Amino acid sequence: MRSKALKPRRIVPLLGVAATAVTLLASPAMASPAAPQAPVTGGIPLIDSDEKIGPGIDLRHVNALDAGGWYDAQYLTVDLKNGAVSTDLLTSGAVASGGPLSAAANKAGAVAATNGEFFDIGNSNAALGGEIQNGKLLKTADNGGRQHVGVSKDGIAQLVDLAVDAKATFAGADHKVLTINAANGGGVPADGLVAYTPDWGTYSRNRAFTGVDNSTIAEVLVTGGKVASVTPAGPAGDGAIPQGSFYLVGRDAAATALRSLTVGDPVALTYDLSNNAAKSMKFALGNGGTIVSGGKVVPGLDPSIAPRTALGFKDGGRTLVLATWDGPGGTGKGGVGITKEAADLAAMGVDTAVNLDGGGSTTMVARALGADDATVRNVPSDGQERSDPNGVGVFVAPGDKKLHQLVITPADDVKVFPGLHRPLRASGVDNHQTPVTVDPKSVRWDAKGGSVKSGVVQASSKPDDTVKVTASAGHVSASTTVDVLGDLNNVELSTNRLSIADATPEQAATVTVTGRDGQGYTAPIDPADLKLDYDHTVADVQAYNGNLKIVPLKAAGTILTISVGGKSVQLPITIGVQTLTPYTFNDDVLAHWRNNSTAATTFSSDPDGLKIDFPAMRNVGITATSAAGRIAVPGQPLRVRVHMKSSIAVPSGLTYLGYYDGTGKASGVYGTALVASDDWQDATFTLPANTAFPISIASFQGINTATAQQKAGTFILNRVEADVPTSIDLPAQPDLKADPLVSTDGSLLQGKNTWDFASMSDVQFTADNPALTQVATAEIQRIRQNHPDLILLNGDITDRGLPQDLSLARQVLTDAGCDLIPVGQEPPANSTPDPKSAQVPCYYVPGNHESYGLNNVQQDLTNFTKEFGQPYRTFDHKGTRFILLASSLGTLRGSAWDQWPMFQKALEDAKKDKSIDNVVVAAHHPVDDPDAAKSSQLGDRTEVALIEKLLTDFRNQTGKGAIMMGSHAQIANVERVEGVPYVVHPSSGKDPYGTPDRGGFTGYIDWSVDRSKSASQQWVEADVRAFAQSITLNTPATLDQGTSATLSGSIVQPEGVGVGTRVVPLRYPMTVHWTGSPNLAIGSGSPALAAARKSGKTAILDPATRELTALRPGSVTVSVTNDSMRAYTDAASLAPITTSKTIQVLKPVPVGPVFAATTPVFTAQPVGIPGQVRDVTVKNTGDQPLKISSVAVQAVGRTPFRVERDKCEEHTVAPGGTCTVSVRFTPAQPDVTFAASLVFQTNTAARHESVALTASSTKFPWGPWPLAE
């Protein structure tokens, strides 16, 4: 199914609906079709959808990236010619009040609305301009006037003058009244008189007289045309104004006139709109000025970025356009300039448009077809709806209240896993597309390809299928299609750790459960399909709107185990949180901390803490002067805060906290922004859910990578706080799940349609420190031995981008055998390099370090471009389109906007080009950092979503394969997202960031591509090669025929081309190159096992599980080979590292209990850091119970190994059963290799069994805390 183009889903009424109505029933938020045209408003769209809101009312949502950045726009088009449609002013109530737009819209019954006029924010909340609602003038504009816009009673949108003639008549004279119900925040001029009616509300009437001498102010209340009270001095009052009453408030001469009145004197207030056009308006409100006139953008508009709202009209005022623009989403995250706002509307054919209130006021609400209420459609920048005084509402007159159409929701991109459920809902609309109540019991459901009951669809067990679902009520029907994904591969939660502050129902939290199939396609999993296991006295877990609602019951903790389809996931839940202060900067701070900045800073002791004065630089921070000086944080903190003052701004995501976790691993996490302020503030850091506790804080930094924004300033660090929940035994981090993209044994795709290439990254040498050039030279020489067609150099080949660094890179790469291909001079697409040639084509993708200048200050790619040419490109090779992108500055747009249109066009052309079978995209920054801290990935996450959408659309619409490669994070990893694998490359030279057992090793990748295979097949395979200086292979000496043993082992990696200590286990994500004697078969699955038996092999090794199965008696040899990494001198220096073990396969004899155990692999352990814990799993491979009476570590002299947890001692293990002993390695002496034995006293024939324990220690890693990148 995945190789076919996926069509947008439509809800098609089957009976009783005219052809024109079918269009109205298209999916309410249907995605754009394949190969979409760019929106007229420009950019590359992440979202470009149209939704029918009502007759003649359409909402288009465009979220797109252009050269100026992201814009997220909602365009509501209203056909005012439609007799069922009308518009009016929405208000929150009184003139001087405010409220959420959605509340005002739903109270009035509007189907859609935007916010309206600018207002007296923070004070009266009254709009600055005049207001007409349903033909009634509620208020005039503030003194000084305002431009206005509205819609007439006959449905014509227009600009309008709301000038008012107003006067108060008393004492035989007319007195000019300046404003009615206006806040006049700018003040009332001398001798001015203003009026307030009951529409004003309760707010103080003195707003217009702020700062005016009270002795010059007077106020009169008039009720029933006669003076009810006279207040001879200010301030003016507040409170409700009685019906039939009004207040006159004046200053200076006007106040003198008012003081002359006495109770009972007649006073008349008269006012009316000055021109006839204004008198014809159904509604009107003020605006911030005309931005489009005559279909053209008005010159001189403000280009500054902010959320925006606009009203426009065209077709002689018969078509109204209401629009909003957000930034990427969230508080304070941009928007567009008024220039962009106006250009969009002009591009849509709008003749006239005005700017309405923006910023946090910008709000669009709309009611989905069949729904009862309008909901917010944009992302208000305040994080929630602002209290606005007014808005523009769109209404639909009630229809005949009869069911004319059914609407099924969700309607678009509905997916489910084989055998699981997906609830659907049917609602109805009448002839005006307004909601009609549909009794769920009256709806008849039918499904083809599955089953459905009461709207709940159950897919069949067949993967990659479809279910057509039909709902019927009376004579009206509608249909939709549900996609059945591949088999469930894993289960994911919306959070990996849940901590609830208090055990109250109000603190209940919601968790979403999502499944993913083997190709990375996702679907929500309904609670009905879940099996839950947890402590019911701690929390109550309920189904809630398709999610899980966790209601806390008491202060405690529990592990929620969620199981479905043979897969499970665990969620730690803690209830109760304390805020602790583990450290205050009031000790001898100058001795406790030292500089950890890009350049020199000045430390001083301040009464409030540690004061740091610094010049403009990239990184400013501190690190503890010793391990003992690190801040120990108790418990399992959720968040850590540094309470401080900052005179400079630090962007969000660029405060940095360095810490050591409970295993001794140095880690870091990025935190919240700092603002330039004299006030105290917090840099807040949320710790990853898989953190090994306890932690100790070692460093803090504030970072700004934008050179132009780096400023001199001061930090004052006051204290460190931590939010610590109830402690709980956190579940162990699950093992990595192998992805089939990575070869398990080094054998790659072969055949007439296959070809190979290689990739490497992160060598990181400079002209000043060229030692790692030897790695680049040796690595390229090794790669060339495999005869690839080309090599991708995926960034950070150098550690700096000065001209001398890049010149050295060219020399090193060329001397090693790289033919560095300039843009536009790529070899013919079907060419194959001569294997005897001294060079292979190489394509250089720049990383972030290629943009660095002196002192690691990030600059741009000017130097790189001068040396190597344009830093991005696309080219074709043997059916593969390569798209190479520059992410050096952390985003693609920020690095070079022009590559985005190139990227989009390359994919669009590849869809139609029959010579292109698949696409490979490479950029230095990965879309996702495998490490929980997520510190080394593309910084614009909306840009990541666009990348993923483009590649998934390409795959789904063509059936052609797509893959993207990143580096930078230096953790070998594969993650699939909606059908596309995203690979993170291992480091090739620099010490990697990740832990060795989870992809943190050095190496490179050999790739094989089969152009004849589709996206749903194995069209690409990776041989992830790790460098080794030695290999340890653990095998049994003997193995009985018919039994199996799991092999293990490790490599020790070199440091550059020298001796290293990094120990990496022989398992995924490394490709382990297994070989052996001729009588050894290597393969996975039952067909391979059957073939091995048939050919008379002695044993078979499954490289995916590392399980060796003895088939017949004899002697068999198993070998492992890894690439070496030595300084290149000649061909001999490229020789690989190989180790072998021979296993005797014996005829099985009844021997009673048989002891077998795994051998633990310890990575190099620094002294002075809590030691590693490794498990030894004992298995009884015999035919009688295995009794273990004691377990102990034995060694000559003192040993750093000790038993941490023992589940074997005094335990009987049944045949085929297992038990586990956990061993901790905590060395006290550095640079020593320790050996010991874990000895088991048993009832085997030998009476005792032993497992070898070997590990090495290293010195404590003193030195400056590494600068965050």
Question: What was the pLDDT predicted at 319?
Answer: 98
Both 623 and 706 in a single domain? yes
CATH number for the domain spanning 885: value is: 3.60.21.10
Q: Is residue 413 part of a domain?
A: yes
pLDDT of amino acid 814: 98
pLDDT at residue 1026 tops 70: yes
pLDDT at 79 over 90: yes
Is the same domain home to 496 and 536? Answer: yes
Mean pLDDT, range 973-977, rounded to an integer: 97
Whether 1008 and 790 have beta carbons less than 8 Å apart is answered as no
Please, which residues have CB within 8 angstroms of residue 791's CB and are 6 or more apart in sequence?
Answer: 757, 758, 759, 760, 780, 783, 818, 840, 841, 842, 843
Q: Which two tokens stand for residue 274?
A: 């000055």
Beta strands in 328-455 (DSSP E): 352-356, 364-366, 375-376, 390-396, 405-409, 415-416, 421-423, 425-429, 435-436, 444-448, 450-453
**Res 127: pLDDT:** 98
922-971 pLDDT, tens digit per residue, is 999 999 999 888 889 999 999 999 999 999 999 999 999 999 999 999 99
Containing domain of residue 901, as a range? 754-1011+1018-1026
655-660 and 666-671 beta bridge pairing = antiparallel
- Spell out a b/e string for 215-244, using b for 16 or more CB atoms within 10 Å of the CB, else e: ebbbbbbbeeeebeebbeebbbbeeebeee
Phi, psi of 983 (to 5 degrees): -105, 135
Q: Are residues 368 and 497 in the same domain?
A: no
Closest CA to 732 of 669, 670, 662: 662
User: Do 601 and 558 fall within a single domain?
Assistant: no
Look up the CATH number of the domain holding residue 647: 2.60.120.430
**1031 and 1144 assigned to the same domain:** yes
Taking CA atoms, 704 is separated from 539, 894, 1077, 1265, in Å, by: 43, 15, 57, 17
Question: What is the Cβ-side half-sphere exposure of residue 139, based on CA atoms within 13 angstroms?
Answer: 33
Angle at 398 between CA 395 and CA 399, to 5 degrees: 130
What would the pLDDT profile of 1162-1179 be if each residue is shown by its tens digit?
888 888 777 788 999 999
- Give the helix ranges, DSSP H, for 429-529: none
Task: Verify that 773 and 909 share a domain, yes or no.
Answer: yes
Q: Is the pLDDT of residue 1268 over 70?
A: no
- Domain membership of residue 552 (yes or no) is yes
Q: Examine the pLDDT at 12 and tell me if it is beyond 50.
A: no
Instruction: Give the pLDDT score at 23.
Output: 27
Structure confidence by residue, pLDDT tens digits, 406-436: 999 998 889 999 999 999 999 999 999 999 9
Q: Is the pLDDT of residue 1052 over 80?
A: yes
Distance of CA 515 to the CA centre of its chain: 17
pLDDT tens readout for residues 184-218:
999 999 999 999 999 999 999 999 999 999 999 99
Q: What is the mean pLDDT of residues 43-54?
A: 95
Work out whether the CA dihedral 663, 664, 670, 675 comes out positive or negative: positive
CATH of the domain at 1071: 2.60.40.1080
Are the C-beta atoms of 888 and 848 separated by less than 8 Å? yes
Q: What are the pLDDT digits (tens) for 320-376?
A: 999 999 975 444 557 899 999 999 999 999 999 999 999 999 999 999 999 999 999
Whether pLDDT at 119 is above 90: yes
- How confident is the model at residue 37, as a pLDDT? 63
How many CA atoms, within 13 angstroms, populate the side-chain half-sphere of residue 1076? 24
pLDDT > 70: percent of the chain: 96
**CA–CA separation, 474 vs 1224, rounded Å?**
71
Q: Which two tokens stand for residue 552?
A: 């806390």
Alpha-carbon span 862 to 802, nearest angstrom: 10
- Which is it for the CA torsion 1010, 1015, 1018, 1023, positive or negative? positive
CB atoms closer than 10 angstroms to residue 735: 10
Q: Does 717 map to a domain? A: yes
Among candidates 1209, 1160, 1158, 1163, which has minimal Cα distance to 1186?
A: 1209
Report the pLDDT value the prediction gives residue 263, as an integer from 0 to 100: 97
Is residue 415 domain-shared with residue 435, that is, in the same domain?
yes
User: Strand runs (DSSP E) across 172-244, as ranges?
Assistant: 173-176, 193-196, 217-223, 226-231
* DSSP character at residue 361: G
Q: How confident is the model at residue 1148 (pLDDT cuts 50, 70, 90)?
A: confident
Q: CA 1052, CA 1075: separation in Å to the nearest integer?
A: 19
* Count of the separate structural domains present in the chain: 8
CB of 1240 closer than 8 Å to CB of 1227: no
Give the chain's mean pLDDT: 93
* 559: three-class secondary structure by DSSP: strand
Distance CA 512, CA 630 (A): 37
- Residue matched to tokens 């004065």: 613
Give, as one character, the DSSP assignment of residue 266: B
Residue finishing a domain among 484, 511, 542: 484
Q: Residue 419: what pLDDT? A: 96
Strands 415-416 and 476-484: parallel
- 3-state SS assignment for residue 1126: coil
Angle between helices 773-785 and 803-816 (to 10 degrees): 30
**Which amino acid appears at position 200 of this protein?**
W
Strands (E), 557-694: 557-564, 567-575, 577-584, 593-595, 602-606, 609-614, 619-624, 631-633, 639-646, 655-660, 666-671, 677-686
Say if residues 888 and 851 touch (Cβ distance below 8 Å). yes
Judge contact between 128 and 207, C-beta under 8 A.
Answer: no
**861: which DSSP letter?**
S
What does the pLDDT read at residue 341? 96
- Express each pLDDT in 778-837 by its tens digit: 999 999 999 999 999 999 999 999 999 999 999 999 999 999 999 999 999 999 999 889
* Residue 1092, burial from CB neighbour count under 10 angstroms (0-12, 13-18, 19+): buried
Query: Is 28 a member of any domain?
Result: no
* 743's tokens: 């070869």
Q: Would you call 402 helix, strand, or coil by DSSP?
A: coil
Last residue of one domain, picked from the residues 979, 995, 1026: 1026
Q: What is the edge-to-edge ordering of all strands in the sheet holding 173-176?
A: 173-176, 164-170, 268-273
Task: Provide the CATH number for the domain around residue 538.
Answer: 2.60.40.10
pLDDT tens string 448-462:
999 999 999 999 999
Is the distance from CB of 803 to CB of 865 less than 8 angstroms?
A: no
Is residue 103 in some structural domain?
yes
**Shared-domain flag, residues 673 and 698:** yes
Of 484, 512, 545, the position where a domain reaches its end is 484
Tokens describing residue 364: 């669009």
Confidence of residue 1073 (pLDDT cuts 50, 70, 90): very high
In a domain, 13, yes or no: no
What distance in Å separates the CA atoms of residue 920 and residue 980, rounded to the nearest whole number? 11
**Is the sign of the CA dihedral 367, 368, 373, 378 positive or negative?**
negative
Phi, psi angles (nearest 5°) of residue 887? -115, 20
The whole-angstrom separation of Cα 305 and Cα 428 is: 41
Backbone angles phi, psi at 440, to 5 degrees: -55, -30
172, two tokens: 């035989």
Q: Which residue has the higher pLDDT, 592 or 25?
A: 592
Residue 689 in any domain: the answer is yes
In terms of domains, do 52 and 147 share one? Answer: yes
808, 810, 815, 817 alpha-carbon torsion, rounded to 10°? 150
Residue whose structure tokens are 């074997």: 1208
SS3 assignment for 669-731:
EEECCECCEEEEEEEEEECCCCCCCCEEEEEEEEECCCHHHCCCEEEEEEEEEEEEECCCCCC
DSSP-derived 3-state class of residue 799: coil
Q: Are residues 382 and 413 in the same domain?
A: no
Same domain flag for 912 and 1049: no
Query: For residue 788, what are the CA distances in angstroms to 756, 780, 983?
Result: 5, 11, 19
Phi, psi of 1098 (to 5 degrees): -75, -35
- Residue 4 inside a domain? The answer is no
- How crowded is residue 325: how many other Cβ atoms within 10 Å of its Cβ? 30
866 and 965 share a domain?
A: yes
Beta strand extents in 885-960 (DSSP E only): 918-922
pLDDT at residue 14, rounded to an integer: 30
Per-residue model confidence (pLDDT) at position 99: 96
H helices, E strands: number in the chain:
13, 89
- Residue pair 871/861 in contact by the 8 Å Cβ criterion: yes
Residue 419 falls in which region: left (phi positive, over 0), alpha (psi -120 to 50) or beta: left
**641, two tokens:** 């805060």
Look at the block and give the residue holding tokens 């990748």: 1005
DSSP state of 985: P
